[in-house]
Chain A
Amino acid sequence: MAFPSTRRVVITGLGVVAPNGIGKCAFWEACLAGRSGIRHITQFDASFLSTRIAGEVPDFAPEALGLTPEECTQLDRNTQFAVAAANLALQDACLSKNLTEEERDQMGVYMGTAMASNEEAERVWKQLTADGAQPLRDRDEVPISSTFMLYHSPAAAIAIHHHLHGPCTALSTGCSAGADAIGQAFWAIQEGRASRMLAGGSDSAICSGGLNVFNVMGAMSTRNEAPERASRPYDAGRDGFVMAEGAGVLLLEDRNLALARGAHIYAELLTFASNINAYHMTSLPKDGMPLQQLLLQVLEEAGITPADLDYINSHGSSTPANEPAETTAYKAVFGEQAYHIPISATKSMIGHTQGAASAIEAVVTALAVDQQILPPTINQEERDPQCDLDYVPNVARRSSVQIALTHSSGFGGVNSALLLAKPEWVDAQLAGVR
């Protein structure tokens, strides 16, 4: 198990299914305009729950996104999001039609998901128990999707759709799952286990149990009267995260392959680092110590200083405890420089897409590096004195971005970070070293 090469890994395709836009262009345009995708829940009657808002993906048309008729009927919504986002990423990379058999043998899929087919489980359980009124009994007329109880199906279904024969697995590390999948895929290419990987995350759990498990923890916003203003990371008025659904998939590619085919390179992956809190299943300690250690690890492994960091796409979940812990960690690690690094939270616009969140945030980070524009953190109205850094409030900003960090803190305590850079920056560094 030695690594045969020191291959560089680049991002050459982006696919997004998000509450405020499907496809890279629509999504990015919405993010730059600061458009929220949070609305009143329409997918089920949420009137009995204390939270009745969420980031639903409106007008999701799987056929239009390349799913087969069988996939449209046999896959649960979460898996459909995953396949759709993967299709979009491959299209974006100009690889959807022309992969050879040899290339497909060298290409794999890693996907993160926290809730998998939970929505489907709820439907089937209710149908087999008459909404809980009767004991569980099989009823042949109740259809069961082929993905049900297959928590790895978002990854497997993408591999099946595109006949990809490389490594394929799912990760279920809560909100860090998408970043973990991307990080593991990055390593797989570095280690020569694959030449290309589709990697990201997906989730769809806007259903009564899916919401209520977090409601009873007091973790969710109840700002039901103003859905678009409910997700407000760093703002003094934040009162919990907003559940959302969606998927984000990136095409990671061995840089040599990308260069050989003249692919557009959004960014190069520099570092993946990950740790776990050993503190509590759902919260960071106040000083954000595990995040501090993670940030230090990223700087050290990449051989950069805080002054090199041009942008952070943060976890920013809009919970009272998360953002002060994050801010404290930034200040502890970056010192005075923390005030000069722009930080934005994508969850302010789309809510918390669970296992997809950190993957969608990686898409945003790649676009920020590519386009040299920072999307805003919206709903910044009243400053929380504990959160006094530059959160790119409300309005997108042009900025030079050579190196950008995205990090997430997952349910269960896993923290993961990905460091992205402009390929030209890496070339310059390598030239300098040599």
Chain B
Amino acid sequence: MHAIPSPANQDSVNHPQRRVVITGIGAVAPNGIGKEAYWKATCKGVSGIKPVQRFSTADLPVQVAGEITDFSLDGVIDRKLAKRTDRVTHFALVAIHEALADAKLVLQEENPRRVGAVIASTLGGVEYVLSEFAAMLRDGPRAMSAYTAIAWLQVANVGQTSIRYGIQGYSKAPVNDLAGGLDALGMAAGAIRRGAAEIIITGGSEAMIHPFTFLVLARKGHIMAGADPNAYRPFDCRAAGLVMAEGAGICILEEYEHARRRGAPIYGEIVGYGQTNDAHALASAPSDGKYYARALKQALREGNIRPDEVGYVSADGRALPGADQGEAEALRLTFGERLAALPVSIPRTATGHSYAAAGALDAITALLALQHGCIPPTLNCEELDPRYGLDVVRGEGRPFSRPVVLLGGRSTGGANVAVAIRKI
């Protein structure tokens, strides 16, 4: 007997109300490792951007970054695995370790085929491969470690997660530049929604603070040159770009009924996801907000969200005049006259932009903000440009009680990603 070709559709007919909630979070950020330390720093606006310690920046165009320091793998992975994996996977595994414990999830009790991992990264294990490539140039092809490819490729994060935790379900390694982590959340939520998995370990991890990336990305204008730790200033009159950071943000996404059955703590629900593309150029986001607005509206529509339910917008804040203009325009197209009274914040000004980790950390910030009823502030925006017409939360955190946070992210090359999270 043959069924209707699409089982997923059948499934969605059988489960029209399947919902996706977040039951655990893990953060590795420059201003705090672990959700408690991260939230404490972020809600108070304590910055983790400092002079780079891992290598000399004397001959480099960039001297500051959001670097992870005091980082320990103790109790998470052993030395052997640590040596066979890059820093990017270390960050991911530490954040996953925290998130699983936070979710009170005992994976041994779950069907491993219904548990997956969707973890974004932009440059994967770039430090590992460059070091091995340098060894090869210096000492010949046999000098390269046999673990190079395993440590380098973006898929290493989900591959190692799968091996470590024995999970065998739907797993992906999305790459979408600065918006990769937010995109991963949307992709994972979609997979649970359609029944491809019950639990997905998702988010982003990035460890691309390296002399080579500094040279290349500063030359191309993707990150800012200089030594000013307060230079990342979205929507400020002096905005001139972003400061790079590293880290990981991991969320445990779970089908709502599954989470309820096991009595899991629930931070919130992913209720909407939108993605569009400006398709303008391989450059930073344009001053036109038309397609970004469409992504934001998609996320609101999917979540059946009334504009007055949105507590704040966690904005992309590219901190370039054109891109900031485009974002303000998109928000105006989305919220109309309500925009003037809608708080907007870019809490990642306290960490720097951790590329694929950023959107996932933003989501974690939003979940903690909903829990604590506090919008974390945007740093360094002392001279807010009035032409944007935005209420940017500056100085101190601000209390709020509305149930929804709308997150936006944009990538070089035009992707606009929006995710809406609702408190349950």
Contact = CB atoms under 8 A, between A and B. Distances in A.
A315 B150 CA distance: 20
Interface string B202-245: 00000000011101110110100000000000000000000000
Contact of B7 (A172, A213, A282, A302): A302
A48 B140 contact: yes
Contact of A152 (B112, B196, B220, B411): B411
B174 A151 contact: no
A314 interface: no
A413 B187 CA distance: 19
B175 A171 contact: yes
Contact of A412 (B155, B183, B411): B155
Contact of A137 (B20, B59, B189): B59
A124 B302 CA distance: 44
Interface stretch (B93-101, B117-125, B331-339, B375-383): B117-125
Interface stretch (B27-35, B252-260, B272-280, B388-396): B272-280
Given A48-B141, A193-B275, A153 B282 contact: yes
A260 interface: no
B51 interface: no
A321 B103 CA distance: 38
B144 interface: yes
A160 B282 contact: yes
Contacts of B141: 48-50, 208, 212, 215-216
A268 interface: yes
A1 interface: yes
A24 B340 CA distance: 54
Interface stretch (B72-80, B126-134, B317-325): B126-134
A280 B162 CA distance: 9
B149 interface: yes
Contact of A1 (B3, B129, B175, B302): B302
Contacts of A208: 136, 141
B245 to A, nearest CB: 16
A115 B8 CA distance: 31
Interface string A396-434: 000000000000001111100000010000100110110
Nearest to A304: B2
A414 B275 contact: no
B399 interface: no
B265 to A, nearest CB: 22
A292 to B, nearest CB: 12
B150 A281 contact: yes
B80 to A, nearest CB: 14
Interface size range of chain B in the complex: 35 or more
Contacts of A166: 275-277
Contacts of B272: 1
B113 A165 contact: no
Contacts of B133: 122, 125, 209
B412 interface: yes
B137 A150 contact: no
A360 interface: no
Given A160-B279, A276-B169, A278-B166, A216 B215 contact: no
28 contacts: A1-B273, A6-B6, A8-B5, A114-B153, A115-B153, A125-B212, A149-B213, A150-B413, A152-B180, A156-B415, A160-B281, A165-B279, A167-B275, A169-B174, A173-B158, A173-B172, A184-B187, A212-B144, A213-B149, A274-B171, A277-B162, A278-B168, A281-B159, A282-B150, A302-B3, A413-B163, A414-B172, A414-B173
Interface of A: 1-3, 6, 8, 48-50, 74, 105, 108-109, 113-116, 122, 124-126, 128-129, 131-132, 135-138, 144, 146-153, 156-157, 159-160, 162-174, 180, 184, 187, 190-191, 193, 208-209, 212-218, 268, 270-271, 274-282, 290, 293, 300-304, 410-414, 421, 426, 429-430, 432-433
Interface of B: 1-9, 12-13, 16, 20, 59, 61, 112-113, 116-117, 121-124, 129-130, 132-134, 136-138, 140-142, 144-146, 148-150, 152-156, 158-160, 162-163, 165-177, 180, 183, 187, 189-190, 193-194, 196, 211-213, 215-217, 219-220, 222, 270-273, 275-283, 291, 294, 302-303, 411-415
